[in-house]
Amino acid sequence: MTHIITSLCVRDRGCIEVCPVECIIPGNPVNEFPLVYIDPDTCIDCGACVPECPYSAIFPEDEVPSAYTAKGGEYINKLGLTGHFEGTNHHGKPIVLETTRQLTAGEVVDLTPDTQLNYDFFKSGPGYSAKDSDTGM
Ligand code: SF4
Ligand code: SF4
């Protein structure tokens, strides 16, 4: 099994350094791969990344919620959305995303499609080569 980063991720990057097998890769280009992704073939399911995420975006694969109930104010980050997000990441660098939408309290969202996005990023997307064009955002 693997852990999965869902579209609650806004690229804070807090999870990346704690992964003992270095299998968490920021997507690039950001306008095509707006999340940070976990290589399912390398992840050892240690769970170290989960508490590092300030946005609670990481789940064991079999616990990715199909009906995530929003607290209100958190962002969904995925292709097809057009909302603007600005923040500061774990390293103090600015984050700017144009593929977001802010959730309202009580809104229910299916996060399970994000599992396939993690797999596809490594199978048919840039995978580890995204590191070569990493800008730190
Ligand atoms: S810490 Fe959370 S928000 Fe930040 S990159 Fe990792 S999964 Fe995404
Ligand atoms: S569960 Fe462990 S091995 Fe898998 S991505 Fe998180 S930190 Fe890395």
Q: Which numbered ligand comes closest to the C-alpha of 5?
A: 1
* Domain chopping of the chain, boundaries: 3-126
Ligand 1 center from residue 15 Cα (angstroms): 6
Q: Classify domain 3-126 at the CATH topology level.
A: Alpha-Beta Plaits (3.30.70)
Residues 98 and 82 sit within 8 Å (Cβ to Cβ)? yes
Q: Count the residues in the chain.
A: 137
Q: Which numbered ligand comes closest to the C-alpha of 50?
A: 2
Alpha helices in the chain (DSSP H): 113-123
Which residue is closest in CA terms to ligand 1's atom 3? 9
pLDDT 10s digits, 66-98: 999 999 999 999 999 999 999 999 999 999 999
Residues 3 and 38 sit within 8 Å (Cβ to Cβ)? yes
Q: Which of 19, 24, 53, 115 to mutate to test the pocket of ligand 1 (most atoms within 8 A of CB)?
A: 53
Which residue is closest in CA terms to ligand 2's atom 5? 43
Name the percent of the chain lying above pLDDT 90. 94
pLDDT 10s digits, 96-122: 999 999 999 999 999 999 999 999 999
